[in-house]
Structure 1
């Protein structure tokens, strides 16, 4: 009698487990329908191979998610409380909650480009009022719950009949095969760089497709070139449309980019020549570099794009459209500067259109700056056609001055500086005074028809800790002077916010005569009128800040963020502005083909 009762209990549990598997399969199908919304954001495949992979990955992933939810939340209860009514109600509730979360994730992914996480939920929380403004937030969960209860009861009443079909193993084998096959196909696609497949790597939540890198490296194979690149497609639209440019006049163009040139040091005491030169020409009072390092500053200056694009593989071979335009217009291009800035250039194609004259600065950056100026002056005298030159001066980055430099009187350092910082501040002023003398010598010998642009690649934080300097996105590290001398003699003091992103479109429209909308090839800013965007992106693709008039938001690659007052002295206890962050993230995806 006891054995009979135990057998009945085992049969009951077995029946409930079978029911749970079929209920999970049903929810995998519903999740697949809801998950199709992700494709509206990512875009549909363009090849038959892409469609095949997407079908395998979608079926495998959403079946996996449904079974995982069952395994974690329903199966344990089946063993502890093997009562069908309790399980059906619980399973329907859990499934409804899971589908609602998935549905909300599709909305967040469409707006922000990321899946739900503590960071994403924190940001998306600000959008909840708009999401809850209608009745759908009530009707949809009720409708899903009603569907789930109906399906749970339907399957339970027919579970004995379904068991007789003996197809459960075959269905499981098909779903498992889809899951495994999608990962195997992705291993090949990752090695062969088939972008119509790898573009979906982040499309679905908890989707981590296998890659070939570790396997191939362990067997001594080169994943970058060992397999065919069949199916590789260019995803970046730079420019979004063919450029239409026709320069009317061809002035000589000189860009002087000074490493570590802080805007607050442009004063008559430290840099008398540059201070007067700014007053006599076009001076931009509220100018930001695109980053706090040489690479991010130069990237924003020449490409006109925010630093989130720096990691794009396309820019390893595609040089800036700005320099391409000058080459096409018959300009001679050359750059001069310290050789140490060539270490690990990123992106690789940034200076491809320039001939280079790089000076050894291993002993002294100040001496290298003198040599760069002299080399430029010698080269300029030899030119018979319009020229475009970049002179990069680097002494302030290392607080350097040449041997025997007289210098200027020291002044009291700003309040709040530590003793070591006061020493660096004093030496920094000496270096800037030296640079001021080099700029005076450089500019006073230029032809009258030269368009001159003087700015900083970045600002300067007074620290000897390189890691600390790389993470410092405060105004002292990114606010730089910008002075433009137009051959026509325009004079103005611009007091609205500008950034390095605006230089390329300004030169392309005013010098190269490009008529395209500037959003075709840049971040959509220009220097000669206020930007419609209330923010500026500063940094690279790993660590960046969003500068606004009244606050500065610093975000790392893990989604951790801090919000500071505009002077960076007070940390604000507030949430991210969701609408502005949406604009930033959309700008970071705008040039990619869907």
Structure 2
């Protein structure tokens, strides 16, 4: 077999795989007849781009050793086919393709562990690799691609056709983007790694009228962060309460239930519980960031770049607090060792990533209790629980839903078909989470430190089980993904249950005020003191890797580019789609207020 024939057979394989998933994308995204020409043209261009390196390798192969040329051709083909398959598997699980967020997971220490893959996943992957390589060898051996290619029109006609396809799909997208044509924009979302070309200014010059999707936009200014706008060393704590800050992975609002989490539910009933509390993000990064900084998640990237610690942590350190943090994940992913806990020493950061999440939680809870009971006061301690993280593991004694999926393998499980069994795994894992939170609460009571300790118990974000069409988190801003439990224990504060809108953004201001520090929250956050009689929040902001979403008492207005692709741009508060015409005057006023204030902490 010559190198030319080998390259042609590999090109045919890539083309067929691309075609297969173009059909999958067309069906799953309900591509209509009007947008089908754009969709076909875009996929033809994409398939050609995938195959282009094979042509380059074939040309270079004339000057390279034969074995190396064949090896490079096979390696590239296997790699690109694997990436195409991985892309669509990722999309079927989470609703997005390989992007900068996924690359961050892969390249950041601790990121792969955060995905929750298990031994069964790796075995299945190995099995698929063996089968895939066998099918690849058989295809290359027997597919007579050279006969197919020899029947193609002359090269110049093929190139002309591809050029026309490129121009057609590029112009179609540019006009659709300018006129907010949702059909074509949605069709482009079905194409992995689609490279959009926009030309709004040029189209305006041609007299083509554009139309914003909703007539409203909001952008974060970016640049150098001006945070905090107060010197932490000048803040003297008057009430030296200990602080125990407990955050549970993927803990959504309706899990705090008497049957699922009896101990935590009882504790909430005797303290302050916020019933309509929103995380600051639909993923761990933004959900954690917002509750310590009180800043919108869109500030994460600049805070990380500048290595700024939260005002709350700086104030505690300046007032000689003992500091210790525990996690059943890793502090390196997301990069909390460079943000929230950047001023902690290695001895003050304890991570445990061996075994299932519930096993790590048990070990860490034991260490946390030992720290609470044997550390000089005042102290701050933090704990991140992993029990409720996918794949949702738990010991037998925490099975309260026996009808659960026994083996949850990402690669081998039909999520939609088994979603009830998957959710039951989640419920059981939350029952185990309850047992560990109960251990901490009991320790504080028995050690006599409860009356001198602020306790924060919340989740980093929620978890969806196809209620709005997705599984997991980090995809959209549905209620299930962004609403979390919120419990506060403040010494001297009576028990209460609040139904008003509250946010992670309020936590720094609330804790600082409870410590007796009376400063204007506007100097360091977008939050307010939850305990103030004048507390009122007209809106909150929930963020992901790609942008913000405004949440008012009535609507959600999505500005994140990824979330816009996966869902609706504007919905009611319970995620029912609406249009810009349905936005009431008060909510438009709120959005204007957000736009004016979003860059407050930039110079």
Bin for the TM-score computed over the shorter chain: 0.5 to 0.7
Cα–Cα, structure 1 residues 302 and 313, in superposed 2: closer, same or farther, change >3 Å?
Answer: closer
Q: TM-score, normalised by structure 1?
A: 0.57
Query: Does structure 2 conserve the Cα–Cα contact (< 8 Å) formed by 1:260 and 1:460?
Result: yes
Whether contact under 8 Å (2:403, 2:421) holds in the other structure is no
Q: Measure how far apart 1:558 and its partner are.
A: 7.9
Q: Which structure 2 residues correspond to residues 85-484 of structure 1 after superposition, within 5 A? A: 118-119=211-212, 122-123=215-216, 235-242=224-231, 244-313=234-303, 316-340=306-330, 342-345=332-335, 348-355=338-345, 356-410=348-402, 418-446=416-444, 447-448=449-450, 449-462=452-465, 469-484=473-488
Deviations 1:385-406 (Å, cap 9, x if unpaired)? 3100001101101243344434
Measured in 2, the distance between the counterparts of 1:434 and 1:563 equals 37
Superposed displacement of residue 485, structure 1: 1.4
Aligned residue number for residue 573 of structure 2: 566
Question: 1:499: which partner in 2?
Answer: 503
**2:529, 2:368 → 1: CA distance?**
28
Which stretch shows the higher mean deviation, 429-438 or 245-254?
245-254
- Name the CA shift for 1:376/1:121 in 2 (closer, same or farther; >3 Å): closer
1:543 alignment partner in structure 2? 547
Deviation at 1:375, TM superposition (A): 1.0
CA RMSD of aligned residues (A): 3.4
The residue matched to 2:340 in structure 1 has which SS? coil
Q: Secondary structure at the match of 2:569?
A: strand
- The equivalent residue for 1:181 is none
The structural deviation recorded for 1:500 is 0.5
SS at structure 2 position matched to 1:255: strand
Asked whether the 8 Å contact 2:227–2:524 carries over to 1, the reply is yes
User: Aligned residues, how many?
Assistant: 371
Which deviations, in whole Å up to 9, do the C-alpha atoms of 1:190-228 show, x marking residues without a partner? xxxxxxxxxxx999xxxxxxxxxxxxxxxxxxxxxxxxx
Taking the aligned partners of 1:583 and 1:559, their CA distance within structure 2 comes to: 22
Structure 2 gap ranges (5+): 1-200, 406-414
**How much has 1:532 moved relative to structure 2?**
4.5
- Judged with a 3 Å threshold, the aligned counterparts in structure 2 of structure 1 residues 268 and 313 are, in CA distance, closer, same or farther, namely closer
Task: Give the structure-2-normalised TM-score.
Answer: 0.56
Unpaired runs of at least 5, structure 1: 1-97, 103-115, 126-200, 204-233
Cα offset for 1:280? Answer: 0.7
State whether structure 2 residue 525 is matched by structure 1 residue 522: yes
Q: Distance in 2 between matches of 1:412 and 1:380?
A: 36
Greater Rg by CA: 1
Confirm whether residue 582 of structure 1 aligns to residue 572 of structure 2. no
Go from structure 1 to structure 2 and tell me whether the alpha carbon gap of 1:366 and 1:412 turns closer, same or farther (over 3 Å shift): closer
* Residues in 2 aligned to 1:302 and 1:539: alpha-carbon distance in whole angstroms: 15
Query: Matches of 1:522 and 1:202 in 2, distance apart?
Result: 16
- What are the superposed Cα offsets for residues 32-85 of structure 1, whole Å, 9 maximum, x if unpaired? xxxxxxxxxxxxxxxxxxxxxxxxxxxxxxxxxxxxxxxxxxxxxxxxxxxxxx
> Deviations along 1:521-557, whole A, 9 cap, x unmatched?
0014231246554211001362332111111122223
